[in-house]
A and B are shown apart, each in its own frame.
Chain A
Amino acid sequence: MTRILQSLLRSLGKPEHKSFPYFRECRSGESCQESSSYDSAYSQGIKRERIAMRVFEAIKGRRSIRRFESRSVDKKVLQKLVEAGIWAPTGGNAQTWAFVIVTDQRRIQKIKAVSPGMLGTPSALIVVCQDRELAYEKGGEIGRDTLSIMDAAMASQNIMLQAYEEKLGSCPILSFHEKGVQTLLKLPGHIVPELVISLGYPAESPKPPQRKFEEVYFFEEY
């Protein structure tokens, strides 16, 4: 389990990124006094278990946000979210994805019109796409029909966790008209939108739906 969490950490925090609040809190025990990187955390002997706990807190703290403030999100922050996305694992290291950032409000409104699952007025969107032709070329039918969707989902989770660190709310949306979004974003036919992630500063703090660990947890055997 620790290994899995460590891998997730690596995918979240690139060494060149100087900010990692969860880690910084971990170092000081109270507030963040200075920035550091994930790798230097190891070099300075920070306990891995405590870093992992911060990831777990981020995982548990993220919510699907459907009400947003009107203020815009900095382009560099959005680019960082995409960077977090591409550090997700991919089946066979295919990396057949494409990410389209949308911040133009008129375009967002048009996408919203063909995305019934989009609630509220997000300041930005990241449309997570897959190159279906390339996915087939690299992974055959299972690559195109299954792995590419899983890859998009894993990248999306990275994006949403990074968004949480950036104090942004996010919500993954599957209910949209695929060809409609393709047309509005000028995507070629083989670049297929798999998930739309709405983003913005949250204007709500929803309570988490209940999780039933004991009902779904098994050890060794079902």
Chain B
Amino acid sequence: MENGLEKGIFELLCYMIVSARNLDRETRMYGPLRLVDAASRLIETLEKSGICDEFLSQVRSMIEANKHKVMTDRDGFVAFLDDLALKMVGRLKEAE
């Protein structure tokens, strides 16, 4: 697995599969955290391979700046997820 993209995707798959296993016994809010963190890791992998646009880089920056709120500010974390979802919807609409 010398290819960076292939390696990055494979490690992401490992992360997602182990998350699926472990979430069975973990704090409920870690489910949303793992999903949004997986999104960040996917964007990071795309960035490293030079196939990521500025919009997705912004999404990743938002995730990195807010994901830790899950441990200290649950309402703030949920509000951040709402904002992020709406940001994605905005992009979807632009693509129509």
List residues of chain A with CB under 8 Å of any chain B CB.
66, 109-110, 112-116, 119, 175-177, 180, 206, 209
Contact = CB atoms under 8 A, between A and B. Distances in A.
Given A66-B68, A206-B68, A209-B71, A114 B14 contact: yes
Contacts of B26: 175
Contacts, number: 33
Instruction: Report whether over half of chain B's contact residues are helix, strand or loop; otherwise say mixed.
Output: helix
A175 B37 CA distance: 14
The 10 A-B pairs at the shortest CB distance, nearest first, are namely: A113-B14, A113-B11, A116-B19, A177-B18, A114-B18, A209-B72, A175-B22, A114-B14, A116-B34, A116-B18
30 contacts: A66-B68, A109-B11, A112-B11, A112-B15, A113-B10, A113-B11, A113-B14, A113-B15, A113-B18, A114-B14, A114-B18, A115-B18, A116-B15, A116-B18, A116-B19, A116-B22, A116-B34, A116-B37, A119-B37, A175-B22, A175-B26, A175-B30, A176-B22, A177-B18, A177-B21, A177-B22, A180-B18, A206-B68, A209-B71, A209-B72
A176 B34 CA distance: 13
Given A109-B11, A113-B11, A116-B34, A176 B68 contact: no
Nearest to B73: A209
Interface string B34-68: 10010000000000000000000000000000001
Nearest to B72: A209
Contacts of A206: 68
Interface of B: 10-11, 14-15, 18-19, 21-22, 26, 30, 34, 37, 68, 71-72
A181 to B, nearest CB: 10
Contacts of B15: 112-114, 116
